[in-house]
Structure 1
Amino acid sequence: MLWGWKQRGAAWLWVSELLFLSCTESSSLLRWSSPRIVSFPQGEKQFQFDTHENHVLLYHEEGTPTVFVGAANKLYIYDFETSTSHTEPFDIVEGEMNCGQENYLTLLREYEDKLLICGTNDCNPACWYWVNGAKERRLSAQGLAPYELDLNFIVLVDGSEIYSTIKKHRYGKGRYRFRRIEGAVKLYSSFTLMNNPQFVKGAILKQDEPHNERIYLFFREDNPEWPRNPTAPRTVSRVAQLCKSDNGGPGSISASMWTTFLKATLLCADNVTDRHFDNLQDLFIVESPIWSETKVYGVFSNEWNYSAVCVYTVDSITKIFQTSPFKGYNGEIPTVRPGQCLEGNKATPTASFSVADSYPEMSEKVKQHAVFYSKHFYHQIGVHQVQVADEETYSVLYLSTDRGTIHKVVLLPKGAMNILEIQPFRSSATIKSMTLDNARNELFVASGDEVVQLPMDMCGAYKDNCESCVLARDPHCGWIDGTCASVYDHDQYGNRKLLQALTHDVPSDICSSAHYSNTEGKDTIPHDIPLLPQARYYLNCSAKSHHADYTWFHNDQNVTHCSSGHHHCIHFIKNMTDDLYGNYFCISQEGWFREILMTENLVKPTPETMLFRSSLPTDWAIKASLSSWLNLLNMVLVVLIIW
């Protein structure tokens, strides 16, 4: 993996050549994808917190420039357009309990046209509304915030209804329920339906008929087959469904219970070896006007913390719940199938509820093969749909790693390609929260020290020549009028389309048209480097692509060749002699694309140069000597990194 970092302004971008896996090969085989190493994306903005925050919760309303960041005892509000900020204190309010903790804000959600803010409040959960720049205390907070800082919960808001998995009592039983805590009929699920769940996300998805609208819960839970079967995974990923129209059952016990809860195993598999990635880490839902075509993008990990992304349709999930046998149940299926949504205020029949409550798991699994693999560990995912110059739409994934970086991955017709890695913060930090604004085409990322706004069209990251721009294969960018431009700037180009190559096999003559103002042939200007005889020196050519070969030439003679995959291509001169002076240049060769990356002209010092050096102060000579040693040390470190 090629690493490097560059600075512009006050922030940093970590650049690398990234991995992608062909969907036709085993996940153990890795290929280098992106042909470019990029510079800092212009347009990034940062907002620095007052202090380092151990807990950060990011909320952003799509289409606005404002972010809300919940922390301990405070709420940060920042407007990226006006660069105005406000910090609102949320100190602990008095209550019956006192456990010596902070008021960690754990819920920021729009509710009834207000921003609902809830926090732990020193083990006595409390809520407020944020209205017209001021906070108002809300009377009830039960089920809206945990008693202590614990982010293993789901809270769903749908109109005037609120659903939650948060325990209602601090010292209640350890198992989780799913509740409707605000709405016409308050319901709760049985303790036996989920086995030590680790919640990932919940969603309420519309369907053609209102009574068929369903609530989906995505979570991991302990595998009941382990340790009875030691080869089985310890945890399994699940998707559960409940009917939003569920009104409970007819009996005295079932009247207040969810009667339509069913769950199925969610599988993400290698398409060649069929090895499974069992641990769901995060997911992102892209809704479609046609409900059955709504897509669920899930990022999973395996026992080695490698990652894979699988894509499911809501239709495929729904069919499993509608057709699969019930695991462990051998009796007759009731007339009203367990889990079926009923019209009106009808109650689920007792027979249907009994099967669903005792045998909630489906025998068949919701299985898909991965569209992308990586040896990195991803823990968050965002998906952006981009309509490109030819009016086709491509999915772009933003995947946050455990090293504080973000991978930008594009799903191409013949397989995914990882085109960019960004370090969004000024120094290395853990990504605590990430959200996308698909209306403004922006990405918001928060660490414990700051929140940043990133443009999705980072076209300034690519060099201003046609080949570099199109070989990047970035759906957001294309070549026109001598620049790598954004697809969102199409209005200024009239009817002309940006030149793009969103395919793995880019034709060699793609930049030959004069219409696109190709800038091929801009050579790097050589620098004269005076070196004394018998001096040591090394020339370093930083790789721009792991898919390219690199060669150092001396006066048109090949002196050092580096195959693809090297971090740096180094030519080391141990002892400078007369025949080693002259022009050196490094060339990268990637398929048909050949590029001069740098040149240096090593020259023998003139008497005037020597006289100038001898007249310099002693401290300059000491600094020069130190610089020489640092240069040598740097070379040694580079060699160690490579090998």
Structure 2
Amino acid sequence: MAALFGIWMFKVIFLGLIDPSQASVRPRVSFARGSSERVLGIYSSSTLKNTSTLLLSTDEDTLFVGARDALFSLDVSQSDSITLKDELKWTPSSDQTKTCRVASKLDCGNFISILQFFNSTHLYACGTNAYKPQAIIIPASSLNANIDKKDAKNCCPFSSTQRNTAIIVDGELYTATNVGFFGDKNVISRCHSRGTHNNLELETVPKLLQEPVFISSTHVASEGKILLFFTENGDLSGDYFGNSFTVSRVAQVCTDDNGGTLTLQRRWTSFAKAQLVCQQGEDLQFNKLQDIVKLSPSDSDSPDKTLFYGVFTSQRSVSSGLSAVCAFSLTDIKAAFSGNYKTFDLRGNHWSPQPNTDGKLGKCGLFNDTDSVLNRVKKSFLTENVVHPMDKTLLLSSAEEQYTRLAVHRAQAVDGQTYTILYLLTESGFLHKVVLLAEGPHIIEEIQIFKQPQIAKNILLSKSKSVLFIGSSEGVFRVPLSNCSAYPNCAECVLARDPFCAWDTETRACTAVSETKSTLRQDVERGNVTEQCIEFRNTAAVLFKTAHLNEIVVLPCQSKSKLAKMTWRFSNNSLVPQFPYLQWTDGSLVFPVSLETTNTYRCVSEELGFQQTIATFSVNLPVVPRSRMSPSHQQPEHIDFTTIELDESEPINEEKINDRSEEKQASTYHDAGKDTLCISQKSYYSEMVAVCIFFVIFCFCILAFFVVLWRNGKRCNKILPQEQPQKGTESDKICQTEL
């Protein structure tokens, strides 16, 4: 019991450390799979299984897809279709597959784990090949022509279950992966080096890599470096988490590195690593990196303004549903690598400070330096300073969703303001579109991508096509970055606060922001409908419902926005009380009909200070016909609803509603040219009375019959023995008959 209480308290404390305004962030609207308002494109085939890698051509008209036992090139130049251009079947040999299965491996196919452009015309692909990695170089224009096989030793992963990262710069492959039949060797290497460059690997020293999981890598041309992102086991023995606490890292290697002459021969002389910390203040951190992407600055800005957006989760089971997004600047990463370092003391089994007084540690071009410097570099590879997120705050945190992959994009709004938009894939199979505002994150929408929850291995953004490509076991999905037509009026368009969408007062439609026009209305920061939708007139259809006394009435009301507060009001705008009314979670109002509850009800949604009527109902009792009805019209057909269009800019007038209702229903029944109004259900009152009377009479007759039998039986039993009638006499026959 104490343990359970402790876990509960830990959850309370952990959740309490998250900014409440961030923890409560929810998607504004949600689109289910197959929704006509959010149409997704998909390419699938019987040979496209287990999509593992995606790569876009330079013109972004062709999408290359690495899958199991096959490599595809897809035509994505058209906005409404994805078609197959070419396919390369690439399967392991039967002998290799047999060897793999004998070793009890489950992924004995050829899973393409690396797919990069080798140069401007050719692709480099590497597959697991049933635990015997194989690499090929093929023309991008024809996947089946001139296949050149390459040695993949220490360059490609053996297993499809282990994450890896790779990037090609100037024809040289920089890769970080686990190799070996059992995946027990961790490598960060340079393969296929050109000219005077040597293929390089890491030196095997304690604490260099501790069970790493490689996440991503990127080339920073301005620094001449490759940055690698991964997680590994940390050394926090004094921490309450214990010895197996996961830490997130950013590491560097220099592209000009060629290894030392004597010390660190064919080994990296520029390798260094720093800790990435995704936390706010002194709060408990999100320590497990899931994905990270680079967002380059504009051409006019300094490369130091490059940002890295990462998704982090917590490794502990009690908080496995928590995730956060942090942004790191290249400036802060450079500062960490140029600062002081730590050296691991084998005798004391601890880290000791290593001042970087000469600035040699973490510097490129050390391969020509002295052995004493290289020996110090060999032992001092961990920075003393950690890399904190920008402004030391979380961009987004969620206590409900666990994010696994992300893409990031910048979009310019109508007013010229540039906004950062995140596309986050959840573990449950949804895509969240998030815009970062001054007041905090706003989830514009969520889209269900997968039928069944799964973790996609890749997500790729095409800026020119304004789409996302997502690879999965179901196929390759094409998701438009926005769908402005889903917002039917000015209010909904403005409340969406989507930088991609604005209301065009000329076409009277929510349209994509492609150019600056004076007719576009948008307010991303505040979503102020009153200022932007001056000509907007909120009209609603009034539904008339007739019901009998004590009948239970359900008035439906649903808002597309999950952020709107739904309330029910009477015609005088006063709030509907809690009794005898009940408001369901879906917004519906439920109550029994009485003389007091026959009224006009308005369902009102309020969002960002703007109120709009979603639905209006007028609930009435049956009325007496105005004119005499013929016998054939004694039981008129039941009319459940009558619809009347009213302008919501004017207050609801009960007399006006009743007058319009009578006008619309006056022609429903006719008798000899006279109009008759009846909006009543058929009454069964007279039938029920007749049945009840018949039942009472029937019961009375049965009771009387048994009373007569009882009285006669009692009279016969009172006859004395000497007065008993003889058998066969008239008296005996009477008693026998009565009994």
2:186 — aligned with what?
176
Amino acid at match of 2:268: W
Asked if residue 152 in structure 1 is aligned to residue 151 in structure 2, the reply is: no
2:612 to 595, 599, 603: 595
1:297 — aligned with what?
309
1:246 to 257, 278, 281: 257
TM-score by length of 1: 0.79
- Unmatched 5+ residue regions in structure 2? 1-16, 102-107, 344-350, 623-632, 641-739
2:552 to 519, 533, 536: 536
Give 1:364 deviation, angstroms: 1.0
Please say if residues 293 and 314 of structure 1, whose CA atoms lie closer than 8 Å, have aligned partners that are also in contact.
yes
1:3 — aligned with what?
none
Please say if residues 404 and 455 of structure 2, whose CA atoms lie closer than 8 Å, have aligned partners that are also in contact.
no
Asked if residue 91 in structure 1 is aligned to residue 103 in structure 2, the reply is: no
Distance 1:529 1:320 in 2: 70
Distance 2:639 2:19 in 1: 64
Amino acid at match of 1:278: N
| Mapping 1:67-466, distance limit 5 Å | 67-80=63-76, 81=78, 83-85=82-84, 87-93=87-93, 98-100=99-101, 101-112=108-119, 113-131=121-139, 132-135=141-144, 136-142=146-152, 143-167=154-178, 169-170=180-181, 174-183=184-193, 184-192=197-205, 193-207=208-222, 212-226=223-237, 230=241, 234-251=245-262, 253-271=263-281, 273-288=282-297, 289=299, 290-302=302-314, 303=316, 304-305=319-320, 306-327=322-343, 328-329=351-352, 333=356, 335=358, 337-342=360-365, 347-368=368-389, 369-375=393-399, 376-425=401-450, 430-465=455-490
Q: Which has the higher contact order (CA 8 A, sep 6+)?
A: 1
**Do the aligned partners of residues 63 and 593 (structure 1) sit closer, same or farther apart at CA in structure 2, a change above 3 Å counting?**
farther
**Do the aligned partners of residues 29 and 84 (structure 1) sit closer, same or farther apart at CA in structure 2, a change above 3 Å counting?**
closer
**Do the aligned partners of residues 73 and 29 (structure 1) sit closer, same or farther apart at CA in structure 2, a change above 3 Å counting?**
closer
Please say if residues 544 and 617 of structure 2, whose CA atoms lie closer than 8 Å, have aligned partners that are also in contact.
yes
Matched residue SS, 1:608: coil
Give 1:340 deviation, angstroms: 1.1
**Do the aligned partners of residues 106 and 502 (structure 1) sit closer, same or farther apart at CA in structure 2, a change above 3 Å counting?**
same
Amino acid at match of 2:588: I
Identity %: 24
Distance 1:330 1:364 in 2: 11
1:9 — aligned with what?
none
Distance 2:83 2:284 in 1: 50
**Do the aligned partners of residues 115 and 529 (structure 1) sit closer, same or farther apart at CA in structure 2, a change above 3 Å counting?**
farther
Asked if residue 26 in structure 1 is aligned to residue 19 in structure 2, the reply is: yes
Deviations 1:435-482 (A, max 9, x none): 1112222111233113221221321232322x2222221111112222
Please say if residues 32 and 547 of structure 1, whose CA atoms lie closer than 8 Å, have aligned partners that are also in contact.
no
Distance 2:468 2:272 in 1: 35
1:585 — aligned with what?
602
Please say if residues 501 and 510 of structure 2, whose CA atoms lie closer than 8 Å, have aligned partners that are also in contact.
yes
Please say if residues 213 and 230 of structure 2, whose CA atoms lie closer than 8 Å, have aligned partners that are also in contact.
yes
- Unmatched 5+ residue regions in structure 1? 1-23, 613-643
**Do the aligned partners of residues 91 and 532 (structure 1) sit closer, same or farther apart at CA in structure 2, a change above 3 Å counting?**
farther
Distance 1:332 1:372 in 2: 36
Please say if residues 528 and 608 of structure 2, whose CA atoms lie closer than 8 Å, have aligned partners that are also in contact.
no
Please say if residues 68 and 109 of structure 2, whose CA atoms lie closer than 8 Å, have aligned partners that are also in contact.
yes
Deviations 1:198-222 (A, max 9, x none): 1111111111xxxx41111111110
Asked if residue 500 in structure 1 is aligned to residue 556 in structure 2, the reply is: no
2:588 — aligned with what?
570
Give 1:171 deviation, angstroms: 5.7
Amino acid at match of 1:106: S
**Do the aligned partners of residues 332 and 468 (structure 1) sit closer, same or farther apart at CA in structure 2, a change above 3 Å counting?**
closer
Please say if residues 42 and 460 of structure 1, whose CA atoms lie closer than 8 Å, have aligned partners that are also in contact.
no
**Do the aligned partners of residues 420 and 566 (structure 1) sit closer, same or farther apart at CA in structure 2, a change above 3 Å counting?**
farther
Distance 2:18 2:87 in 1: 51
Deviates more, 1:479-488 or 1:426-435: 426-435
Distance 1:321 1:510 in 2: 49
Deviations 1:122-169 (A, max 9, x none): 222223344333324332241443223233222221121112234554
Please say if residues 63 and 437 of structure 1, whose CA atoms lie closer than 8 Å, have aligned partners that are also in contact.
no
The structure in which a higher percent of residues are helix is 2
Matched residue SS, 1:99: helix
Larger Rg: 2
Deviations 1:46-76 (A, max 9, x none): 2233278445433333642433333222234
**Do the aligned partners of residues 357 and 455 (structure 1) sit closer, same or farther apart at CA in structure 2, a change above 3 Å counting?**
same
Give 1:334 deviation, angstroms: 7.0
2:636 — aligned with what?
608
Give 1:322 deviation, angstroms: 0.7
Please say if residues 22 and 397 of structure 2, whose CA atoms lie closer than 8 Å, have aligned partners that are also in contact.
no
Asked if residue 61 in structure 1 is aligned to residue 61 in structure 2, the reply is: no
**Do the aligned partners of residues 227 and 158 (structure 1) sit closer, same or farther apart at CA in structure 2, a change above 3 Å counting?**
same
Asked if residue 474 in structure 1 is aligned to residue 498 in structure 2, the reply is: yes
Give 1:592 deviation, angstroms: 3.1
Distance 2:242 2:550 in 1: 64
How well do the aligned residues superpose, as a CA RMSD in angstroms?
Answer: 3.3
Matched residue SS, 2:521: coil
TM-score by length of 2: 0.70
